[in-house]
Structure 1
Amino acid sequence: MASTNVLLNPTIIAKEALMQLVNSLAMSRHVYKAYKNEFVKVGSTITVRKPNKFRATKAQARSNTNVAEPSTSITMSTQAHVSWAFSSVDLTKTIEEYSKRYITPAAAALANQVDYDLCGRYVDVAPSVGTPGTVPATFAVLGDGQVKMDDMGVPSDTRVGILNPAANWALADGLKGTFAQQVAKAIITKGYLGVIANLALYMDQNVVRHTCGHFTSGATPLMNGATLTGAASIVTNGWSGSNTVKAGDVFTIAGVYSVNPMSGASTGVLKEFVVTADNADTVADMTIAIAPTIVYGATNPYSNVSALPLTTAALTFKGTEDTAYPQNLLFHPNSFALVTVPIEMPANVWGARESDPDAGLSIRVVKQYDIDADEEIVRLDILYGIKTLYDDLAVRLWG
C-alpha cells in the first residue's frame, strides 16, 4: 500500500534516519559495537571490559594464571551532525519522498564520518602484509593476511576485510577467472567479492592513506641500550639529525620475533611494531613510542616476543619515506570498538531520539524555525567514541 501524505513528525523522521544510518555503514557494521543507555557529555569516558587471555601449562600440578581482568576506557569524543533547511511544505511529503531527498544522503554523510574515523585506527595496528605501492590483486595476498592472522591466533570466525576501491576492483579483476561460474558471475557483473579466503570482503572509500615519516635519508637506526619487558618506548640512535617518524609507521627489530599467543613459541617471523606518536631525532638520538608494549616471559600469558631487543639491534621500517600508501584492513570484529550513547534532548523543541541497542547506535533529530529566512532547519546528531581494543586481532594490507 502506498504511503499517504501525512504531516511528518520527529519520531517518524528519527526512526527513518536511524534505519538509513545503519544501512549506510560499511566498516562500522563489522566492529564491536556497544550502546550505553546513559546520557553523557562530549569528552566523557566509558569503560569497556576486554576478554581475558590464558596459556596452557604442561604439568599435572595446577598452575594458576594471573587474571588481569583487562579493560579500557573509550572517550565519547565525537559529536557529528548534518543540518539542512527546507520549507514546511516538505513535511507533508511521504516519508519515502522526504527520506530520498533529505534523510538518506544526510545519514550517508554521518555514516561516512564514522567509517572514516574507524578506518583511521590503522595507526594502532602493527601487523602488516602486502607490498607498499602495489595494489593488492591476488588470492595470494589475501592468503598472506590469513597466515599472519593464523600465526597471531586470531579467531577464524567472522574475519573481515575492508578494501579501498582500487584494491576491491583489482582483486575483482584478479579473481574473476579463479572461481566457479556462479561466483565469477557475481564478481564480473557486480564487483561483489563476498567471502574469499575466509574473509568477508567489503569496499569502503574511507580507507585512509598513511604517509610514512622521513626515516631513511642518512639514517641507520639502531637500538641504543637495554629494553625491559613492559616497555612502551624504545631508545634508538643512528639518525642523521633530520629524520622523523610518524604515528602509524611500522618497523621490525632484528632478532625480535613474534610468538604464537597460545603456545608462546616463536613464529619465525620478525615482530612488527607501530609508532604511536610523531617524533623527530635530536642529533642522532630518538626515543620512539611504540605499540604493542614489549612483553617477554616464558610463562607470561601476555608475552608477545621471542626475546628482548639486543642493545644495538637494527630497525627496519616498512615503505618508502615521505610516501603515502592506502591502509586496507583485515580484522576480527573485536579489534575495534564503536560506542554510541543517546544525546540529551533540548527542552521544548520539536525533536525525537531513536536508539537501536542491537545495532549499537543512537540518533537525535531536532528542528527549529528560522524566522529571518522563513525556513525550517533540521539537524541529525550522533555522539560516539571509537578505540582499538586488540591491535593483535587486525592486519594492515598495504596498497
Structure 2
Amino acid sequence: MPNTILTPNVIANEALMVLKNNLVMANLVHRDYEKEFVKVGDTVTARRPSKFAAKNFTGAVDPQELNEGGVPVKMDRLRDVTVQITSKEMSLDLRDFSAQVIEPAMTAIANAVDADVLATAVEGACRTVTASGEDAAKPIKDIAKVGSLLDFAGVPVQNRRLVLNPSHKVLYATDDNMSKVSYAGDGTALREAELGKVYTMDTYMSQNAPYPFGYLDNAVGTAKSFKVSGTAGASTVALSSVTAASATVKKGDCFIVDGYVYHFAADATASTGAIASVVIDQPLHAALTNKDATVISAPTSVGFHRNGVALVTRPMDLPMGNKNAYVASADGLGVRVVFDYDSTHKIDTVSFDILYGVTTLDKNMIVKVQG
C-alpha cells in the first residue's frame, strides 16, 4: 500500500492531534475559540461564563439577563517550531514522519502553552498557601487549605483543579491520606498527569509549573520582591524596589510579568534596592517601566476553577502566495503548517505555529501554593 502523501493538510491535522494529546493545563481551563482570522498583537473579545443569583420567590419572578460579558484578550503569543527537512524526511510514511518531526515539535509547543497558562494563573492568584516542609506531620493540610479558600470564595465544587509542581507532588503524594489513581488507556498527557480527586479538586502534576532552577541545589537568591524595567526585545532588565535593599538574584531565579515566565541568566546583587542591569533567558515581551513582578522563589502549584483562567485561540491567515500551507482546527485549538524554501541557505523547512492569548477571568477562583 503506498505511503500517504505528506501534504500540509495531512501534517496539520496530525499536528493538531498530537498537540491535543500533549496538553495538560490548557485542557483544564476555559477555552474560547472562533474561526475569525487574526494577526499577532490583535485584541479579541473572549466570552466570560455567566453567573446567576438564586433569588427567593415572593409571588413574582425577577428575570435575570445573561451576563456573559466579554473580556479583551491580546493575541500576543505566537509559538513556532520551524524544522529543516530533506527529501529523506518527506519520503517517510506519516507514522514515521510524525515520530521524527511532528511529535517533538508539537510537544515543545504544548509545553510552552501549558507554561503560559500556568504562569498566568499563578500571577493572578488572589491568595497564597505556604507549603509545608518535608518533615511536616500532615503536609496534605496544604491542599485542604486550598480547597477551604475556594469554599469561602464561593467557588463551585465542580470543575475545580489543582496542578502540582513535581516537588509538591512528591511532598503530598507520600502522605498516607493522599488518594492516588492509576490510569491506563489512551496515553495522553492529561491522563498520565492525573493523580486523583483530593479535597474537591481534580489533581494533576505538571513539569511546566514555575520554579527557580537552583532550588534543588539551595542556590536561590534572597530577593523577595522587585519591579522590572526594560525595552521590548532586550535580553537585560533593570530591577528597582528590590527587597531587601542588598538582596541577591541568582542564575536560574524565576519571575513572572504579564503572564510571561523569565529566569535570570546571571547572578546580581542589589545596591540600595536596585540592580542596574541583569541578563534574562529570553527577550523581553514588551517595554516595561517599574512593573511589579511575581517572584517565584520556590516551587509553585496552583488550585483554581475552570472559569478562573481562559485560553483564547484564533487561526492565522495563510501566507500570501504560498499554497503549501494549511490551518487545522478542532476542539478550540488551531495549528498552522507552512512548507517553505529558504533560497538564501538553500534549505526546505516546515513550520508549525499556534496563536493564542491567556487571561484571568476571576482571580477569586485561583489560589497558589508556594514553598
Q: Percent identity?
A: 30
Q: Once the 2 structures are TM-superposed, how far is the Cα of residue 34 of structure 1 from its aligned partner? A: 1.1
Q: Secondary structure at the match of 2:338?
A: strand
Alignment-derived partner of residue 361 in structure 1 = 333
| CA shift digits 1:205-259 (9 cap, x unpaired) | 11123863169xxxxxxxxxxxxxxxxxxxxxxx999599x988xxxxxxxxxxx
Alignment-derived partner of residue 348 in structure 1 = 321
Q: Secondary structure at the match of 1:193?
A: strand
Q: Secondary structure at the match of 1:34?
A: strand
Alignment-derived partner of residue 357 in structure 2 = 385
**Paired residues, number:** 299
Looking at structure 2, the residues matched to 69 and 98 of structure 1 have their Cα atoms a distance apart, in angstroms, of 43
| CA shift digits 1:342-378 (9 cap, x unpaired) | 111013321211001x2x1101000112355553211
Alignment-derived partner of residue 42 in structure 2 = 44
Looking at structure 1, the residues matched to 309 and 370 of structure 2 have their Cα atoms a distance apart, in angstroms, of 19
| Cα distance change on mapping 1:60 and 1:243 into 2, 3 Å | farther
Q: Which amino acid aligns with 2:195?
A: L
Q: Which amino acid aligns with 2:357?
A: G
Q: Secondary structure at the match of 2:6?
A: coil
Q: How do 1:20-99 and structure 2 match up within 5 A?
A: 20-53=18-51, 70-99=69-98
Tell me the TM-score normalized by structure 2: 0.69
Looking at structure 2, the residues matched to 243 and 390 of structure 1 have their Cα atoms a distance apart, in angstroms, of 36
RMSD of Structure 2 on Structure 1 (CA): 3.9
Alignment-derived partner of residue 201 in structure 1 = 203
Alignment-derived partner of residue 262 in structure 2 = none
Tell me the TM-score normalized by structure 1: 0.65
| CA shift digits 1:303-347 (9 cap, x unpaired) | xxxxxxxxxxxxxxxxxx987022211111111111111111013
Alignment-derived partner of residue 238 in structure 2 = none
| CA shift digits 1:16-73 (9 cap, x unpaired) | 1001111111111101111111011111111123245455677959897997764320
Looking at structure 1, the residues matched to 84 and 182 of structure 2 have their Cα atoms a distance apart, in angstroms, of 44
Q: Secondary structure at the match of 1:174?
A: coil
Alignment-derived partner of residue 130 in structure 1 = 130
Report which of the two structures shows the higher radius of gyration computed on alpha carbons. Answer: 1
Select which of 325, 329, 332 maps to 2:305: 332
Check if 1:103 corresponds to 2:75: no
Is the 1:88–1:375 Cα contact (8 Å) retained in structure 2? no
| Cα distance change on mapping 1:134 and 1:322 into 2, 3 Å | farther
Is the 1:163–1:203 Cα contact (8 Å) retained in structure 2? yes
Alignment-derived partner of residue 171 in structure 1 = 172
